[in-house]
Amino acid sequence: MKRVPSTLSPVIAVDRKAPVPLHKQIYDGFRSLIIGGNLGAGQQVPSTRALASELKISRIPALTAYAQLLAEGYFEAHTGAGTFVCRSLPEQFERSDRGPARATPVRTGARSISCLATALPPYKAIPWLRGLGAFNVGQIAFDQFPFQVWSRLVIRHCRNLNSTALQYGGPLGFEPLREAICTYLRTARAVQCHSHQVMIVTGSQQALEISTRVLLDGGDAVWMEEPGYWLTRDVLNSAGCRLIPVPVDDQGLDVAVGIKRCRKARAAFVAPSHQFPLGATMSASRRLQLLEWAHHSGAWIIEDDYDSEYRYDSMPIASLQGLDSNSRVIYIGTFSKTLFPSLRLGYIVMPLDLVDRFSAVRRAMDIAPPHFFQAVLTDFMNEGHFARHIRRMRQLYAQRRAALVASLSEQLLGSMEIVGAEAGMYLTILLPNGLRDQDVAERAARERLWVQPLSPAYLGENRRNGLVLGFASTSTAEMSKAVRHLKSVMDDEKRAQSTRSKTLLTPPQ
Ligand X SMILES: Cc1ncc(COP(=O)(O)O)c(C=O)c1O
| Least gap, CB of 138 to ligand X (angstroms) | 5
Residue 341 interacting with ligand X (CB under 6 A): yes
Selected from 306, 373, 380, 471, the binder of ligand X by CB under 6 A is 306
| Contact of 58 with 48, CB cutoff 8 Å | no
Q: Phi/psi of residue 174, each to 5°?
A: -75, 120
| Least gap, CB of 306 to ligand X (angstroms) | 4
Alpha-carbon distance of 298 to 300, in angstroms, equals: 7
Selected from 220, 304, 309, 493, the binder of ligand X by CB under 6 A is 304
- Per 3-state DSSP, what percentage of the chain is helix, strand, and coil (rounded to 5)? 45, 15, 40
Selected from 204, 211, 281, 465, the binder of ligand X by CB under 6 A is 204
| Least gap, CB of 74 to ligand X (angstroms) | 46
Alpha-carbon distance of 106 to 111, in angstroms, equals: 11
The CA–CA distances, whole Å, from 320 to 7, 313, 337, 456 equal 55, 20, 20, 27
Which part of the chain contacts ligand X (CB under 6 A), choosing from 73-81, 166-174, 312-320, 333-341?
333-341
Selected from 205, 289, 321, 378, the binder of ligand X by CB under 6 A is 205
Measured from the CB atom, the residue of 46 and 203 that comes closer to ligand X is 203
Selected from 141, 172, 200, 271, the binder of ligand X by CB under 6 A is 271
Alpha-carbon distance of 509 to 503, in angstroms, equals: 12
Q: Phi/psi of residue 384, each to 5°?
A: 90, 0
Which part of the chain contacts ligand X (CB under 6 A), choosing from 94-102, 199-207, 290-298, 448-456?
199-207
Selected from 334, 359, 428, 465, the binder of ligand X by CB under 6 A is 334
Residue 279 interacting with ligand X (CB under 6 A): no
| Contact of 26 with 61, CB cutoff 8 Å | yes
Residue 373 interacting with ligand X (CB under 6 A): no
Which part of the chain contacts ligand X (CB under 6 A), choosing from 159-167, 203-211, 365-373, 387-395?
203-211
| Least gap, CB of 274 to ligand X (angstroms) | 8
Which part of the chain contacts ligand X (CB under 6 A), choosing from 100-108, 216-224, 293-301, 334-342?
334-342
Residue 225 interacting with ligand X (CB under 6 A): no
Measured from the CB atom, the residue of 254 and 304 that comes closer to ligand X is 304
Selected from 46, 245, 346, 466, the binder of ligand X by CB under 6 A is 346
| Least gap, CB of 232 to ligand X (angstroms) | 7
Sequence letter at residue 218: G
Residue 272 interacting with ligand X (CB under 6 A): no
| Least gap, CB of 108 to ligand X (angstroms) | 38
Measured from the CB atom, the residue of 61 and 279 that comes closer to ligand X is 279
Measured from the CB atom, the residue of 39 and 185 that comes closer to ligand X is 185
Selected from 75, 84, 135, 229, the binder of ligand X by CB under 6 A is 229
Name residue 348's beta-bridge partners: 199, 332
| Contact of 120 with 240, CB cutoff 8 Å | no
| Least gap, CB of 492 to ligand X (angstroms) | 28
Angle at 185 between CA 181 and CA 189, to 5 degrees: 160
Q: Which of residues 408-437 bind ligand X (CB under 6 A)?
A: none
Measured from the CB atom, the residue of 336 and 359 that comes closer to ligand X is 336
Alpha-carbon distance of 426 to 421, in angstroms, equals: 7
Return the exposure string of 47-76: e unless at least 16 CB atoms fall within 10 Å of the residue's CB, then b.
ebebbbeebebeeebbbbbbebbeeeebbb
Measured from the CB atom, the residue of 425 and 444 that comes closer to ligand X is 425
Which part of the chain contacts ligand X (CB under 6 A), choosing from 109-117, 201-209, 318-326, 461-469?
201-209
Name residue 374's beta-bridge partners: none
Return the exposure string of 284-310: e unless at least 16 CB atoms fall within 10 Å of the residue's CB, then b.
eebbebbbebbeeeebbbbbbbbbbbb
Applying CB under 6 A, the site for ligand X has a residue count of 13
| Contact of 303 with 271, CB cutoff 8 Å | yes
Which helix (DSSP H) or strand (DSSP E) does residue 252 occupy? strand 252-253
How many Cβ atoms from other residues are within 10 Å of residue 508's Cβ?
3
Selected from 61, 203, 279, 369, the binder of ligand X by CB under 6 A is 203
Which part of the chain contacts ligand X (CB under 6 A), choosing from 144-152, 202-210, 321-329, 433-441?
202-210
Kind of pairing, strands 300-304 and 267-270? parallel
Residue 138 interacting with ligand X (CB under 6 A): yes
Which residues make Cβ contacts (< 8 Å) with residue 271, sequence separation at least 6?
225, 229, 303, 304, 305, 306
Strands ordered across the beta sheet of 452-453: 417-419, 426-430, 466-470, 452-453
Selected from 276, 293, 331, 358, the binder of ligand X by CB under 6 A is 276
* Interface residue list for ligand X (CB under 6 A): 138, 203-205, 229, 271, 276, 304, 306, 334, 336, 341, 346
